Amino acid sequence: MLKYFHNISGGNIRSLGPATFAALLDGMAKIVPAALLVDIFNTIYRFFSQTGATELNVGRLWTVSLILLAWLAVQYAAYSSLYDKTYKVAYSVAATGRLSLAEHIRHLSLGFFGKRDPGDITNLLLGDYGQVEQTISHNVPQLISAIMLPVIALAGMVFLDWRMALAMFVAIPFGVLLLWLTDSMQARLSENHVKAKNEAASRLQEYLAGIREIKAHNIGGKRFERLRQSFDQLKRASISLEGIMGPMIMGAMLLTRSGMTLMIFAGSYLLVGGELALSSFLLFLLVGTKVFEPLTTVLMNYGEMRYSAYSAQRIMDVQQESPLQGPASIQPHTPIEFDRVTFGYDDSKPVLRDLSFRMEPNTITALVGPSGSGKSTVTRLLARFWDIQAGEIRIGGTDIRTMDPSSLLRDISMVFQDVYLFQDTIGNNIRIGKMDATQAEIEEAAKRACCHDFISRLPQGYDTPVGEGGSTLSGGEKQRISIARALLKNASIVLLDEATASLDPENESAVQQAINELVANKTVILIAHRLKTIQNANQIVVLEQGSKIEEGTHAELLAQQGLYASLWNLQQNTDGWRVK
């Protein structure tokens, strides 16, 4: 039980304390009016039942009535406190938890994202936390109150009549036992439903992300089989969850509430036998109603709470993922070394094998090789998106695995072939390179990146929204904005991964000019399939199947007559091809 509450509260079980205490006070406040009403009944009953009674104790009636009215105000205050503390805690825990989890995810290796569907992570932050939020606000305080109230009521009522108290509460353990015996089944049903829901969300997200290709190729029929199957599986999981858990919970509820029936039979028997006063019988009836009301509500919501427990466990599992971290700081303008580096994604077949080379500060190193040879992996490992399995990557003699990732990335700029722009203004997308940059600094970076002119021609200039992913801009425009980001950041290490591969000649010329501005006095790793663009690199590293097979300058590699020379000759021959 403690583990359940620990998970639900995101590891901060004390945050549930105020709401739980308020729920307990609210429940107890509802019992007191029952006792006051019984006292009023007793006063009236004695007047009519006692022979020769001449006066009704009106003073007592007024006193008790005034106390009852005053207590209703106390009860209202208790409920207001419950409402305030419960919902504030729920929304606070969910909001803080979402931000904390998002920040934690930001520091995880990209390998974490490779193992999970995007729909799963989205549902984790929105759906799972929404489920936990609902449980904290509506169920957890009421659950603890429903547990404590019967205990307190039993302790008080047993002194009034132990037989009635026993009859009232004897069935509760059997209802709890039924839920405990079926707990593992309920956990499995909840897990299956969450998995089915996440799978359906992932397939739907995949469908929406590929809608352009779907429309372009008029895809239909069997091509949507995965989507259809995921929704069918969600339907079956939903039916199983409701169809199996519903009868279990209803059975536990009937067992628990059967205590009221037993108490009425016992009370009637004792009342007829003269062993129980009518006022005591009425008190048991009123208190029993108030005690079983929250207990019934909790049992009705038990399935939702059990479902939330699995959602909370998923959140806690991600929170326990080890983030990339380290105490050291990067030393800019120092040598970069790959020393016998071996790496594979998800511990599969290695992408890089025993790779070693050295880059001097303020030089350009080009990576060349066939597709799949590991060129892009080299840049991602240097940025520590993943940690390597063997060997070392050192900057200034320090292993980057001992470096703080934030410190490392502050001194690395990246320009990739596929540029992503956030759904924001052009100015704010450039400002990502330096969040405190002034407008003048942004415009200066844009001018150096050859994008100031086309930005100025837009209706809102730098305040023009770019759409999700930069959908309103061309590939060349997005590339230049990405380079403007990097220029504004002014990091000492620059990673260029096929930055001009898919551009038309006009855009390529502008982007190349922007790149020349970017790489001045920087340590640069450049990936390019067009070998003409890397002839002037200080060194060229040729990769094949994750291993270095050649290294040297353009002239040296041509003289070796190896893979680089073959690729160069091939491109020279194809440059003259024409469509007839």
Question: Is the pLDDT assigned to residue 1 strictly greater than 50?
Answer: no
Distances (CA, A) of 394 to 237, 355, 362, 546, 547: 50, 13, 16, 19, 18
Give rounded-to-5 percent helix, strand, coil for the chain: 65, 10, 25
CA angle in degrees (0–180, nearest 5) for 196-198-199:
65
CA–CA distance, 124 with 120 (Å, rounded to integer): 6
pLDDT in tens, 271-305: 888 887 777 777 777 777 777 777 777 777 777 77
CA–CA distance, 384 with 328 (Å, rounded to integer): 14
- Written as six digits, the tokens of 532 are 């003409």
Q: Higher-confidence residue: 324 or 237?
A: 237
CA angle in degrees (0–180, nearest 5) for 309-310-313:
90
Which structural domains are found in the chain, ordered by start?
2-171+258-319 (1.20.1560.10), 336-575 (3.40.50.300)
Residues 6+ apart with CB under 8 A from 448: 484, 487, 514, 517, 518
For 498-535, strand residue ranges (E) read: 523-527
Average pLDDT, the chain: 78
Nearest to 483 by CA among 434, 529, 416: 416
Amino acid of residue 374: G
Q: What is the pTM of this model?
A: 0.67
Q: Say if CB 8 and CB 141 are below 8 A apart.
A: no
pLDDT at 98: 81
pLDDT at 51: 47
Say which range, 152-156, 234-238, 270-274, 393-397, has the weakest mean pLDDT.
152-156
pLDDT at 8: 54
**CA-based Rg of the chain, rounded to a whole angstrom?**
35
Which 3 state secondary structure label does DSSP give 286? helix
pLDDT in tens, 202-230: 787 777 777 766 766 666 655 577 788 88
CA–CA distance, 68 with 575 (Å, rounded to integer): 96
Helix extents (H) in 107-139: 110-114, 118-123, 129-138
SS (H, E, C) 217-271: HCCCHHHHHHHHHHHHHHHHHHHHHHHHHHHHHHHHHHHHHHHHHHHHHHHHHHH
Residues 6+ apart with CB under 8 A from 143: 298, 305
Q: Say if CB 496 and CB 415 are below 8 A apart.
A: yes
pLDDT in tens, 104-153: 888 887 777 767 776 777 777 777 777 777 777 777 667 776 777 777 77
Q: Which residue has the tokens 């100031």?
A: 452
CA–CA distance, 420 with 468 (Å, rounded to integer): 9
Helix or strand run (H / E) with residue 452: helix 452-456
Over residues 551-566, the mean pLDDT reads 88
Q: How many residues does the chain have?
A: 580
Helix or strand run (H / E) with residue 105: helix 58-106
SS (H, E, C) 140-153: HHHHHHHHHHHHHH
CA–CA distance, 327 with 110 (Å, rounded to integer): 20
